[in-house]
Structure 1
Amino acid sequence: MVKEEHYLNLYLDKVIFKFKYSTILSLSSDNIDAAKPFRKKIFEEFPVVDIDMTQGIDLDMDLNIKDIDPLNLIDNLIWIFKNMSQDKTVELTDSYLKITYEDGSFTDINMFLYEINLIIDALNEFAPIYPESLELKYNHLIFDKNLDELKEDINDKYFNNKLMKMIGEYNFSNYMSMLNFKDNSYNINIHYGLFDDFSDILNKQQYMFNITCAYKIISSVDEVFDVLKDMDKTMWKYYKTAIKPKFRKEMKERILEGNLPNQY
Structure 2
Amino acid sequence: MSQKKAGRDPARSLNLLWGSQTVPGRSGLTVKKIVATGMEIAGAEGIEELSMRKVADRIGVGTMSLYTYVPGKAELLDLMLDAAYEDLYDAAAISSILNNNWRQALHFIAKTNWDLFRKHPWILDLTGGRPVLGPHTTMKYDTELRALEGIGLTDIDMDASLCLVLMHVESCARLAVNIKDTQQKTGMDENEWWLSHAPTLQRLIDPARFPVASRVGEAAGQAHLGAQNPDYAYMFGLERIMDGIGMLIEAGKAK
Q: TM bucket by the smaller chain?
A: under 0.3
| TM-score, L = length of structure 2 | 0.27
Counting helix residues as a fraction of each chain, which structure ranks higher?
Answer: 2
- Indicate the structure (1 or 2) with the bigger Cα radius of gyration: 2
- Answer 1 or 2: which has greater strand percent: 1
Q: Which has the higher contact order (CA 8 A, sep 6+)?
A: 1
| Superposition TM-score, scaled by structure 1 size | 0.26
